[in-house]
């Protein structure tokens, strides 16, 4: 079974389409979205429609819940708040209801899918460090968990003797049965690891190998859309640097 695992699309239709085109060349069995379909970008309706059409498993992101009215927006920074308020006006009640009803975590077929952290997904915490990641391992039913939220790909591995390893530079990871893994697949629509390339993952459950993929797209088109929509220019500028 091959899973395509995408996160943090954030209304960036150009990046999303580039990733879907890349995936069309591969033999994918199931599509997984780890949340934050909307927010920041200028094409929330189009991105949401594609996710609803093509994906088998979808979990909620904090921006998804904020746009649906299920999460307060006062905890977001000013750029994110403006984008959320703009997005609210663009989606209809059916679309907002769909976002509101998305689960926070899915545990299926030996895998865990969650946007933030599996221990307390409703708090929208970040696994930026080993200490933060360690808490996540205590609440996962299965050995392999995929996350997003930070917009930065990272791998955490917990050994049998409770030793914890991490890596930010990887393209292919061979998973081992007695090693627990927490894998952040990065962001499709707004990467923040210093690369403007869209990021996503493929997991081959038969071979037990995870592949991280990076895809180029014309972010200038996305930037122009963000500016034309009246969204904060900062959200457009950061796309070119992946920051």
Domains of the chain with bracketed CATH: 2-240 (3.60.21.10)
Q: Are 42 and 231 in contact (CB under 8 A)?
A: yes
- Give the pLDDT band of residue 31 (cuts 50, 70, 90): very high
Closest CA to 109 of 210, 3, 201: 3
What's the mean per-residue pLDDT of the chain?
Answer: 95
Q: Are 221 and 172 in contact (CB under 8 A)?
A: no
- Give the pLDDT band of residue 45 (cuts 50, 70, 90): very high
Mean pLDDT of 46-66: 98
What does the pLDDT read at residue 139? 75
Mean pLDDT of 162-169: 87
Mean pLDDT of 27-31: 97
What does the pLDDT read at residue 98? 98
What does the pLDDT read at residue 182? 95
Residue 192 scores a pLDDT above 90: yes
Mean pLDDT of 69-88: 96
Q: What is the DSSP letter of 27?
A: -
131 vs 25, higher pLDDT: 25
Residue 233 scores a pLDDT above 80: yes
Residue 203 scores a pLDDT above 90: yes
What does the pLDDT read at residue 179? 87
Residue 127 scores a pLDDT above 90: no
- Can you list the alpha helix ranges (DSSP code H) found in the chain? 13-23, 44-54, 62-68, 78-90, 93-100, 130-137, 219-228, 233-237
Residue 70 scores a pLDDT above 90: yes
Closest CA to 170 of 214, 212, 216, 215: 212
């Amino acid at each position: 079974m091959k899973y395509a695992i995408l996160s943090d699309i954030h209304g960036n239709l150009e990046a999303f389409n580039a990733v879907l085109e890349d995936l069309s060349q591969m033999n994918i069995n199931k599509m997984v979205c780890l949340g934050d379909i909307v927010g920041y970008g200028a094409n929330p309706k189009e991105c949401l429609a594609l996710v609803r059409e093509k994906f088998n498993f979808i979990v909620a992101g904090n921006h998804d819940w904020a746009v649906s009215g299920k999460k307060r927006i006062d905890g977001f920074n000013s750029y994110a708040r403006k984008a959320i308020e703009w997005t609210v006006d663009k989606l209809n009640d059916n679309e907002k209801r769909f976002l509101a009803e998305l689960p926070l975590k899915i545990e299926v077929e030996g895998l865990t899918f969650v946007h933030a952290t599996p221990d307390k997904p409703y708090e929208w915490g970040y696994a930026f460090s080993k200490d933060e990641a360690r808490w996540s391992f205590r609440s996962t039913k299965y050995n392999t968990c995929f996350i997003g939220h930070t917009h930065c790909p990272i791998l955490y591995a917990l050994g049998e003797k409770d030793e914890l390893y991490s890596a930010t530079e990887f393209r292919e990871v061979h998973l081992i049965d007695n090693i627990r893994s927490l894998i952040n697949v990065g962001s499709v629509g707004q990467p923040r690891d210093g690369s403007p390339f869209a990021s996503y993952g493929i997991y081959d459950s038969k071979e037990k190998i995870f592949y991280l993929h990076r895809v180029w797209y014309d972010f200038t088109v996305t930037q122009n859309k963000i500016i034309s929509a009246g969204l904060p220019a900062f959200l457009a500028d950061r796309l070119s640097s992946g920051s």
